């Protein structure tokens, strides 16, 4: 018995950590927070692909748009964006953006519930927006550089799908592969979309 206690005491040890360093792993919590925005975006944009493999491309940007809140007061809209690649084991990767609106002045409003243009315009049956901490997913379309296949699901819920990598010949696989040029095109598409969003929706408070 004493020998067992001795082994336990030797194996269970504690190391004092720097108080400025976080010792907890919040990755699972962080990823879970994106679960609902992913589903909402896929349903709104009618695009289906798996998130079994879901990785950052390493490309992250913060977009700023200087606007006038009042005639004598300027402010900045601030939107963080990260370009991701996702797909199932039997799918070619699909590009999508994780967005967080850090500061936005009238860009997200339930005024657009009746005719939603973007996923952040969608309201529940009571007319309330689902903010999800101002986190949203945007999936670039084919014309913006993404690699998707036109189709129709059995439920009629989706119109676009990831390429299935099973059975693709070399030429088809090459056509379905994400390139640096595709990523650049997606960023260009996002910048144009956000610019239009600010131009169309920003209103000064004292106009």
The tens digit of pLDDT for each residue in 14-43 reads: 677 788 888 788 888 888 899 999 999 999
153 assigned to some structural domain: yes
What is the rounded distance in angstroms from the CA atom of residue 109 to the CA atom of residue 120?
8
pLDDT digits (tens, 9 = 90+) for 56-96: 999 999 999 999 888 889 999 999 999 999 999 999 999 99
- As a three-state string, the secondary structure of 39-75 is HHHHHHHCEECCCCEEEEEEEEEEEEEEEEEECCEEE
Query: Which residues have C-beta within 8 Å of that of residue 11, sequence separation ≥ 6?
Result: none
| pTM summary value | 0.85
Mean pLDDT of all residues in 195-207: 87
6 assigned to some structural domain: no
206 assigned to some structural domain: no
5 assigned to some structural domain: no
CB burial readout 112-136, b (16+ within 10 A) else e: beeeeebbbbbeeeeeebeebebbb
Tokens of 69: 């809140």
Residue 91's domain comprises: 50-201
């Amino acid at each position: 018995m004493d020998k067992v206690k001795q082994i336990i005491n030797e194996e269970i040890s504690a190391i004092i950590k720097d108080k400025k360093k976080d010792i907890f792993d919040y990755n699972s919590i962080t990823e879970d927070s994106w679960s609902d925005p992913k589903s909402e975006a896929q349903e709104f944009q009618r695009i289906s692909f798996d998130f079994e493999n879901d990785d950052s491309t390493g490309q992250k940007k913060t977009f700023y748009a200087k606007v006038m809140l009042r005639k004598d007061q300027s402010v900045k809209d601030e939107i963080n964006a990260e370009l991701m690649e996702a797909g199932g084991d039997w799918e070619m990767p699909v590009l999508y953006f994780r967005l967080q609106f850090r500061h936005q002045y009238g860009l997200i409003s339930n005024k657009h519930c009746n005719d939603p243009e973007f996923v952040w315009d969608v309201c529940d049956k009571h007319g309330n927006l689902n903010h999800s901490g101002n986190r949203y997913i945007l999936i670039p379309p084919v014309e913006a550089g993404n690699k998707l296949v036109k189709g129709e699901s059995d439920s009629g819920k989706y119109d676009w799908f990831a390429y299935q990598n099973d059975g693709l010949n070399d030429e088809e696989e090459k056509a379905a592969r994400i390139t640096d040029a595709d990523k650049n095109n997606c960023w260009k598409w996002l910048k144009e979309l956000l610019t239009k969003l600010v131009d169309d929706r920003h209103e000064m408070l004292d106009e």
